[in-house]
A = this chain, B = another copy of it.
Amino acid sequence: MSNPVYIKIAEEIKNKINRAELKPGDAIASEAALCKEFGTSRMTVRKSLAILANEGYIYSIPGKGNFVRKPQHNKYILYYDEMNNAINSVDKTKLLEVNIIMPDEKLADELQITRNKNVIMIRRLFYTDGDPVAYDVKYLIYRKGMPIVEKEIEHATFTEMISGSTSLFAIKKELTIYARTPDEDIKRYLNIYNELALMVVEQKLYNSEDKPMGLGITYFRGDYIKLQGISQ
Residues of A within 8 A of B (CB): 14, 17-20, 43, 50, 54, 57, 71, 73-81, 86, 157, 159, 167-181, 195-199, 208, 220, 222, 225-232
Determine the distance from Cα of A224 to Cα of B180 in the docked complex, in whole angstroms: 11
Which of A50, A73, A226 has the most B CB atoms < 10 Å from its CB? A73
Assembly of this chain: how many copies?
Answer: 2
Known A74-B80, A76-B173; further 7 A-B contacts with Cβ < 8 A: A74-B79, A75-B77, A75-B79, A78-B175, A171-B231, A179-B198, A197-B222
Query: What are the 9 closest A-B residue pairs judged by CB atoms, nearest first?
Result: A197-B197, A175-B229, A179-B222, A173-B231, A179-B179, A179-B199, A179-B197, A71-B168, A73-B159
Across the interface, do A17 and B195 meet the contact criterion of CB distance under 8 Å? no
Closest Cβ of chain B to A75, distance in Å, is: 6
Which residues of B are found within 8 Å of A18, using beta-carbon distances? Answer: 167, 169-170, 208
Determine if A178 and B229 form an interchain contact, defined as CB atoms under 8 angstroms apart.
no
- Nearest chain B CB to A136's CB is how many angstroms away? 16
Shortest Cβ distance from A194 into chain B, in angstroms? 9
Contact of A227 among B17, B43, B176, B195 (CB under 8 A): B176
Complex contacts, A14 vs chain B, CB 8 Å: 169
Residue on B nearest A232 in the bound complex, by CB: B172
Contact of A181 with B197 in the complex, beta carbons under 8 Å: yes
Neighbour of A78 across the interface among B76, B86, B170, B179, CB < 8 A: B76
